[in-house]
Structure 1
Amino acid sequence: MTKFSTLCEVWLDDEEFRAGYEAQEREFAIADKVRRTMCEARERAGLTRGDVAKRLHTTEEAVQRLEQGGQKLTLSALLSFADAIGSTLRIEFQGPDGEHP
């Protein structure tokens, strides 16, 4: 089986693919940051994926997919996850200098 990263390297040689990929690069980076933050927040709360799954009435595998990118992130899913770990979801906009506008 060929890894996605290997295929992506080949595909990036195609100008049309590369343009589409680069157009979504910011989205990929933000989604990756959100997922890492979710995992860190769950761990800070002292909860396992199994704990969160019970609170969300789902499976541990579903929580794993959410944290690792196997499931699309939605605002609803993020809010439910935040509730399950006893946290508050906060989304911010940041100016180019790192300050909030």
Structure 2
Amino acid sequence: MAPVLVVGAVLSCGHGPITVKSNAILTVAGQPVLLADDARSQAAFKCSLSTPCTAFGPFEGLSTVLTVRGQRVLLTTTTAKTLPNGSLIITAPGQTVLVAK
């Protein structure tokens, strides 16, 4: 079991912080959970570099049991590459209440 990531999660791509957005209907402590489609969208996942990362993925370590409208949620076990180079770094999930496999 691993904590579910929410909008308040502390993430980076190797260049610096990543700001995230999600419109998920499932929230934890008022913060929407992060979904697989959110993570694939450059509009939802923004690198702080002046020439930002252009893509995130492929994603591994997503929840195998918790979904929101068919989309798997991101966990602290999630890994991904960032393009042009680097990897997704998860420093804090943004919440400690909800865990999943």
TM-score by length of 2: 0.29
Larger radius of gyration: 1
The one of the two structures with greater contact order (alpha-carbon pairs below 8 A, sep at least 6) is 2
Q: Which has the higher helix share?
A: 1
Q: Which has the higher strand share?
A: 2
